[in-house]
């Protein structure tokens, strides 16, 4: 019983002190990450030394210390990337990690050394530094299409070949059968076909009339010559 009582007393004695819970801090690679930590300062007599270290807080001091202060200024610093930007005289001892890296992830200990036996204020903070997400969405390519029949589509790439008035009707029909680049082009081709279909018969009729007229003149000339011989 005496041994158990001594063990319990020793445990209470060594675990006494204002230990506070820690927090999770998240940041991105290349950015500044601030790990919060502070203590109460009611007067100049409350200003005290403190340290930051990697890994959980040990029984005393800081394990793998990265920065020390005497309460008013930084006295030791492991790297220039570790800074205390808060007002030390008001108890703001938050740690700022400049240009954070993935290797900075882990547990950080903030220990404020308060005078007295086992009165130190300690807190453990887990820092998680990740790479920033980069969007990898591929650009969309849009293709203009028109519907030629229910359930089927065809690309809207058209060519138009214009024919001269002297072209034959078969050539014009072959040219007109191709797709058009616009409605106006299709109308032009259709009108050209109609004009050609109307002009071809009229040209044939004019040629027949010319042949008939020449024949009629020849007959009259022959009759006139015969009449001269008879007279």
Average pLDDT of the chain, as a whole number: 73
pLDDT tens, 3-46? 343 343 333 333 334 444 578 999 999 999 999 999 999 999 99
pLDDT tens, 109-161? 999 999 988 899 999 999 999 998 775 555 544 444 444 444 444 444 444 44
pLDDT at residue number 36 = 97
pLDDT tens, 63-82? 999 999 999 999 999 999 99
d(CA 198, CA 203): 9
pLDDT tens, 189-205? 455 545 554 444 445 55
pLDDT at residue number 221 = 84
* Most confident region among 13-17, 89-93, 208-212, 215-219 by mean pLDDT: 89-93
The token pair that represents 165 in the structure block: 């008035």
* Residue 217: partners with Cβ closer than 8 Å, 6 or more residues away: none
Q: What Rg, from alpha-carbon coordinates, does the chain have?
A: 51
* Residue 29: partners with Cβ closer than 8 Å, 6 or more residues away: 100, 101, 102, 129, 130, 131, 132
pLDDT at residue number 182 = 53
Which one is predicted more confidently, 193 or 226? 226
pLDDT at residue number 170 = 45
* Residue 196: partners with Cβ closer than 8 Å, 6 or more residues away: 165, 167, 169, 172
Question: Right CATH number for 23-130 from 2.40.160.20, 2.102.10.10, 2.30.30.40, 2.60.40.10?
Answer: 2.60.40.10
């Amino acid at each position: 019983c005496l041994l158990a009582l001594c063990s319990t007393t020793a445990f209470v004695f060594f675990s006494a002190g204002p230990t506070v819970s820690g927090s999770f801090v998240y940041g991105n690679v290349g950015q500044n990450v601030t790990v919060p930590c502070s203590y109460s300062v009611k007067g100049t007599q409350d200003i005290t030394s403190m340290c930051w270290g990697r890994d959980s807080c040990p029984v005393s001091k800081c394990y793998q210390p990265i920065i020390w202060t005497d309460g008013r200024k930084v006295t030791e610093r492991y790297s220039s990337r570790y800074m205390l930007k808060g007002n030390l005289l008001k108890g703001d001892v938050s740690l700022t990690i400049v240009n954070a890296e993935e290797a900075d992830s882990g547990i950080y200990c903030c220990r404020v050394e308060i005078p007295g036996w086992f009165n130190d204020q300690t807190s453990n903070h887990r820092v998680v530094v990740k790479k920033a997400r980069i969007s990898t969405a591929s650009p969309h390519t849009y293709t203009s299409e028109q519907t030629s029949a229910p359930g089927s589509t065809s690309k809207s790439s058209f060519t138009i070949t214009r024919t001269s008035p002297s072209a034959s009707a078969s050539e014009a029909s072959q040219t007109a059968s191709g797709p058009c680049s616009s409605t106006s082009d299709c109308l032009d081709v259709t009108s050209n076909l109609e004009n050609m279909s109307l002009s071809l018969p009229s040209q044939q009729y004019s040629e027949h009339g010319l042949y008939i007229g020449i024949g009629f003149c020849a007959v009259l000339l022959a009759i006139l010559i015969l009449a001269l011989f008879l007279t």
